[in-house]
Structure 1
C-alpha cells in the first residue's frame, strides 16, 4: 500500500489531477502494482477523504506537547519508524492534529511492522491531502533525498 501512495504522489501534483477509482486502479495495475495493494491504497484514500478533520484540527489549538506512543502503536512501528515519527513531531513538520492523523492512518495499515519508509509515505500523503506545501517540501526532501531529485 505504501508504495502505491508514493507512486500517486509522484504522478499527481494536485489532488484534482487524478482520475476516478476504476481508471486509477487500471493505471496502477499497468504500473505493476498487485490488486490487493491497489485496493488497500484506494480504500485508504477513500476512507481518508471521508474523515472529519474537525477533531484533529482541535488539537492544533494548544501547545504542541511531546507524543508518547501507546504500547500497541510502538509494537507496530520499527525503531527507525518511531525515531522518524518523533523527529517529524518535534521538528514542527507536523502539527498536533497532523501527528495524530498520521499515527491513526499508520495503524489502519495491514502491515504487521511499519518501517520508516511507510511513515515517510503516509506523512507525505497526510500533508499532501491537506494541501500543506511547506511541510510537503520537508517530507519530499526526506522521501527523495537518496535519489537527489526533486519531484515537484
Structure 2
C-alpha cells in the first residue's frame, strides 16, 4: 500500500490533479500494482479524505509543541529506524502537533504489521500533500528525493 501512495504522489503532485477513484484504480493496475494493494490504498485514501480535521487543528492551536512518546502498541509496529524518523519529524518542527498525530493515526490504520522508515516518509508525504501549500510541497520534495542514508540532524 505504501508503494501505491508514493506512486500517487510522484504522478499527481497536487490533489487537484488526481482523477476519480475508478480512473485511478485503472491507472494503478496498468502501472503494475495488484488489486489487493490498490484496494487497500484506495480505501485508506477514502478514509483519509473523510477524516475530521477539527481535532487535529485544535492540537495545532496550542503554542507549545509537546514531545510525543509512542504508546507501546505504536512502538511495537514501528521499526527502530521508523521510530527514529518519526521522532526526528516531531522534534524538528517539520510537522505541527496535529500533523504529527495524524501521521501516527494513519500509520496505525495500515494493515502492515511492521512499519519501516519508508512507510513513515510516505504517510508523512500524504499528510503534507493533503494540505497543498507551498511550504508543505517543499518539505515533501525533500522527504521524497533526499538521500536516505543521510543523517537526520
| TM-score of the pair, normalised by structure 2 | 0.92
1:29 shift after superposition: 0.4
Partner of 1:128: 129
Partner of 1:5: 5
Structure 1: how far apart are the matches of 2:144 and 2:13? 15
Give CA deviations for 1:56-107 in whole Å, capped at 9, x if unaligned.
Answer: 0000122101000000000000000000000001111100000000000000
Question: Does residue 14 in structure 1 map to residue 21 in structure 2?
Answer: no
Partner of 1:54: 54
Cα pair 1:85 1:119 within 8 Å, conserved: yes
Partner of 2:95: 94
Partner of 2:144: 143
Structure 2: how far apart are the matches of 1:132 and 1:85? 21
Aligned pairs for 1:102-121 within 5 A: 102-121=103-122
Unaligned runs of 5+ in 2: 149-153
Unaligned runs of 5+ in 1: 148-152
Give CA deviations for 1:3-57 in whole Å, capped at 9, x if unaligned.
Answer: 0000000001211111111110000000000111101111111101101100000
Taking a change above 3 Å as real, the CA distance of residues 132 and 78 of structure 1, as seen in their structure-2 partners, is farther
Structure 2: how far apart are the matches of 1:133 and 1:41? 25
Structure 2: how far apart are the matches of 1:60 and 1:101? 11
1:145 shift after superposition: 2.0
Cα pair 1:94 1:135 within 8 Å, conserved: no
Structure 2: how far apart are the matches of 1:96 and 1:132? 17
Tell me how large the CA RMSD over aligned residues is: 1.3
| TM-score of the pair, normalised by structure 1 | 0.93
